[in-house]
Chain A
Amino acid sequence: MFGTSITWGDITFMMTGAGLTLAITFWAMLGGTLAGMVFGLIRAQSPWYVNYPMGALLDVLRSVPLLIQFILFNSFQSIAGLNMNPFVVGCVVLAAYTSAYCTEIVRGGIGAVPVTTRKAARSLGMSYWQDMRYIVLPLGTRVMLPSWIGLTLGVMKDTALVYAIGVIELLRSSQIIITRKPHEALVILAIAGLIYFLVSFPVSRLGAHLEKKWREND
C-alpha cells in the first residue's frame, strides 16, 4: 500500500496499539485528575505538617523517571503477588504520576481565585463546600484548563514508556513492525506520528475553544 511493503495488517496492528495508548491515557487522566483534585483541595487548605510530607511524596512521583516507576511498581506488584496485568500496572503508575502534576494544577487554580471573591461568597451564607463548588472550582477551572490540557497531551506521549512492562501500545507496535521491515522505518514512524497528532489535535482545539469562550465573559 502507498507503494510500500506496509500491509493493512500492519496498519491494523498499529491501530490496536493506538487504541491501547488512548485507553491508558484515558484511565490515567481519569484517575490522576480525580486524585489530583482531592490532593489539590487538601494541599490548598492544609497546615504545613500535612502539606510538607504530602508535597515531598508527590515530588518523588514527579522527579523519579516514569520508566523507573513502571519497572519498580511492576516488580513490586509481582513480588506482592497482586497478579495485575501490565495494562493495569501501566494505568495505575501513570495515574499516580498524573495525580502529582494535577495536584499542583488544582492547588494553583484554587489559589488564583481572589480571597475577596471567596469572602463575598461566604458572606452570602455559602458553606465552605458551596463556595468551592459554585465559585472557586468554576473560576479556578479557567486557570487550570490550559495546564491540564498540556498534561493530557504529555501523558499521552508518556504512555509510550509502558513498553518497558510489556504493553504493546502505538509506539511499541510501530517498533515491532520496523524490526520486521527496517527499510520502511520512516514511513511507519510518520504514520505513528500522524496518529498521535490526530488524537492530540482535537483535545488542544477543545481547550482553545473553551478558553476563548470563557475569555469573552471576562
Chain B
Amino acid sequence: MIEIENVKKSFGNLEVLKGISMTVEKGEVVSVIGGSGSGKSTMLMCINGLEPIDSGRILVDGTEVHAKGTDLNKLRRNIGIVFQQWNAFPHLTVLENTTIALRKVLGKSRSEADEIAIKQLKHVGLGDKLKVYPSRLSGGQQQRMAIARALAMSPKYMLFDEVTSALDPQLVGEVLDTMRLLASEGMTMIVVTHEMAFAREVSNRVAFFRDGLIHEIGSPKQIFESPERPETAAFLKSVL
C-alpha cells in the first residue's frame, strides 16, 4: 500500500505540490491526469525518493520514504518506475540493460539474471532483441525494454511517468498493450498519463491534478462521465 499524506514540495519559489493526499491499495491501478506543471510527475519521483519533499510523508508498505535512516536503495527494489524518456543505458545491450540491476543490486548470478531478464523481455515482445544495443530499437521498443528492466526486479509497485508522451503515435499502442497486460495480471500501478481512453479503460480510480493539488479523484466512470468539479470537466473537454 502506498500512502501519501499531505505532501508539499517546492522547487525554489515554485510550489509544485501543495498538500497531496492519496492512498493506493494493493492491486489497484490509479491513473493521474492533469495539465502540464500540475505536479503529477513530481509526485511519482517523490514516491521512490528520487525527489525530497518539504513536508508531509509518504509510506510504502509502512516504510516512511523520506525518513532519516530509510534505505532508499532497498526500498526502490520494490518500486519500478518507467520514465517519459525511456532512459536506456546506451552502452549496454538490451539483455545487459535488463540484467545489470539484477546482478549488481540483487546479487544474482549471470545465468540466473539472464533467465529472469529473458522471460521479462519475451513478456514485452523483445525476445528477439537480446543482443541488440538500444540505439537500434525504436522508441516503443526502448520503452518496452524499460518496462521489462523495471519488472525484472519483481517490484510490488510500478510507476509510469507519461511513458507514451515521447513516442510516435503508431508506437503508443504497443506500449499501452504491455501496460494493459500488467494491469490485468494484478500489478499495483500509478500511471501518469495523457491517454484518456487508456485511463478510463484500465484504471480503478482516476485522479485529476490541478495546481499542485488533487482536484478530484474517483472512479473512471465518475471522472469521465459526471465530474463534480467544473475544472475537471473543462480539462477533459480540452483533451478529449
Contact = CB atoms under 8 A, between A and B. Distances in A.
A123 B90 contact: no
A217 B135 CA distance: 7
B68 interface: no
B77 interface: yes
Contact of A124 (B74, B105, B133): B105
Interface string B128-158: 0000010100000000001001100100000
Interface string B75-100: 01101110101010111000000001
A124 B83 contact: no
Interface stretch (A84-92, A126-134, A144-152): A126-134
B48 interface: yes
Contacts, number: 66
A124 B85 contact: no
Given A138-B91, A217-B133, A123 B104 contact: no
A83 interface: no
B108 to A, nearest CB: 13
Interface in A144-192: none
The SS class assigned to the A binding surface is helix
Contact of A218 (B48, B79, B90): B90
Contacts of B89: 117, 120-121, 135, 139
B73 interface: yes
Contacts of A139: 89-91
B101 interface: yes
A114 B45 CA distance: 16
B50 interface: yes
Contacts of A126: 73, 101, 104-105
Nearest to A216: B133
Contact of A120 (B74, B79, B104, B146): B146
A152 to B, nearest CB: 22
A5 interface: no
A217 B91 CA distance: 7
Question: Interface range on chain A: under 10, 10 to 19, 20 to 34, or 35 or more?
Answer: 20 to 34
Interface string A177-209: 000000000000000000000000000000000
Contact of A125 (B45, B77, B85, B135): B77
A7 interface: no
B161 to A, nearest CB: 10
A121 B91 CA distance: 13
B65 to A, nearest CB: 13
A58 B91 CA distance: 31
Q: Which of B74, B81, B101, B149 gathers most chain A CB within 10 Å?
A: B101
Interface of A: 114, 116-117, 119-127, 130, 134-135, 138-139, 142, 214, 217-218
Given A117-B87, A119-B87, A120-B87, 16 more contacts: A117-B89, A120-B81, A121-B89, A122-B73, A122-B76, A123-B48, A123-B79, A124-B101, A124-B149, A124-B150, A125-B73, A125-B74, A130-B104, A135-B89, A142-B91, A214-B91
Interface of B: 45, 48, 50, 73-74, 76-77, 79-81, 83, 85, 87, 89-91, 100-101, 104-106, 133, 135, 146, 149-150, 153
14 contacts: A119-B83, A119-B87, A122-B50, A122-B76, A123-B76, A123-B81, A124-B101, A124-B105, A125-B77, A134-B104, A135-B89, A214-B91, A217-B133, A218-B133
